[in-house]
Amino acid sequence: MGGAPSLRGAAIAALQAADLDEKLRLTDYAGEGWFARRLGLSSPGDPAQPSRPGRPVKPDLVSPRLVKRRSVHTPEGRISMIHALAHIELNAIDLALDIVARFAREPVPRSFFDGWMTVAMEEAKHFRLLSGRLRDLGSMYGALPAHDGLWQAVEVTAHDLTARLAIVPLILEARGLDVTPSLLAKLDEVGDGETGAILEIIYNDEKKHVAIGAKWFRFLCARQGVNPAQRFQELVRQCFRGDVKPPFNDRARAEAGLTPTFYRSLSPLSS
């Protein structure tokens, strides 16, 4: 790589890594280098933005319809659930790295990249925790099929930072705030405190991630002179193919800066 080392180049290297241990190491390297101010933001020698992240041979990627859902009340069901969560966290690492690399030349404050490298490093921590839990239970990440739907959010928002923030943190991550409390209750029922402790960490970090997304979404809307809730609804209708459906964890969402005026009108099932 020519030129001075850069955050963008380091993020792309992590994004491209197919070996997951290397991806995690390079993610931490990028974040630590950035926070120590050893890395500039971008360099003329940075590699091209990859269209897809590096991935290992396993797991097999299939349609979301083909990924079985099992009850957490069986050991196999818990392994399936943890595997699915690990896959989400792996995608979340790459989504955060992609935001940093793809939008490194946007006119935003340096603290924007502080936020997203914090997210990337925390998603890497989550993946490590869930992978370790799978090993404790006699399995491993890659042992089960997984779906490839999350990366569509990158493709459809590749040229619009405001749209990317609307869809990734404020739709996809916010969904985690909705579903995790009931999952924690189920794990408590079956006495799986080890997995529950990991999900508590992820849940609390996800609140921060949604808050980072909401902060910068509002920043961009203010700069554009548009109403953030209305702009959010426009972008979701344009860019998101899934459903925005209850139940909503209104309290956790509001704590993260995502009030019901943003999302309630998008849900046909919501009063």
| Distance in angstroms (rounded) separating the CA atoms of residues 198 and 89 | 12
Burial class, 41, CB count within 10 angstroms (exposed 0-12 / middle 13-18 / buried 19+): middle
Report pTM.
0.94
Give the tokens for residue 250.
Answer: 């209104």
Give the tokens for residue 124.
Answer: 């890497």
pLDDT tens-place string over residues 216-230: 999 999 999 999 999
- Average per-residue pLDDT for the chain: 93
| Distance in angstroms (rounded) separating the CA atoms of residues 192 and 137 | 11
Q: Among 138, 146, 132, 140, which Cα is nearest to 66's?
A: 146
Give the tokens for residue 20.
Answer: 């997951």
User: Is the pLDDT assigned to residue 2 strictly greater than 70?
Assistant: no
211: phi then psi, degrees, rounded to nearest 5: -65, -40
User: Is the pLDDT assigned to residue 67 strictly greater than 90?
Assistant: no
Residues counted in the chain: 271
Between 128 and 5, the more confident residue is 128
| Distance in angstroms (rounded) separating the CA atoms of residues 42 and 116 | 15
| Distance in angstroms (rounded) separating the CA atoms of residues 20 and 18 | 6
Give the tokens for residue 120.
Answer: 């990337």
pLDDT band (50, 70, 90) for residue 61: confident
Kind and range of the H or E run holding 208: helix 193-224
Instruction: Identify the pLDDT of residue 134.
Output: 98
Kind and range of the H or E run holding 147: strand 146-147
Which of the 8 DSSP states describes residue 106? S
Show the domains of the chain with their CATH numbers: 72-266 (1.20.1260)
User: Is the pLDDT assigned to residue 203 strictly greater than 60?
Assistant: yes
Mean of pLDDT values over 84-92: 96
CB 68 within 8 A of CB 33: no
CB 62 within 8 A of CB 147: yes
pLDDT band (50, 70, 90) for residue 213: very high
The three-class DSSP label of residue 62 is strand
Among 61-70, 150-159, 215-224, 250-259, which stretch is predicted with the lowest mean pLDDT?
A: 61-70
Instruction: Identify the pLDDT of residue 151.
Output: 82
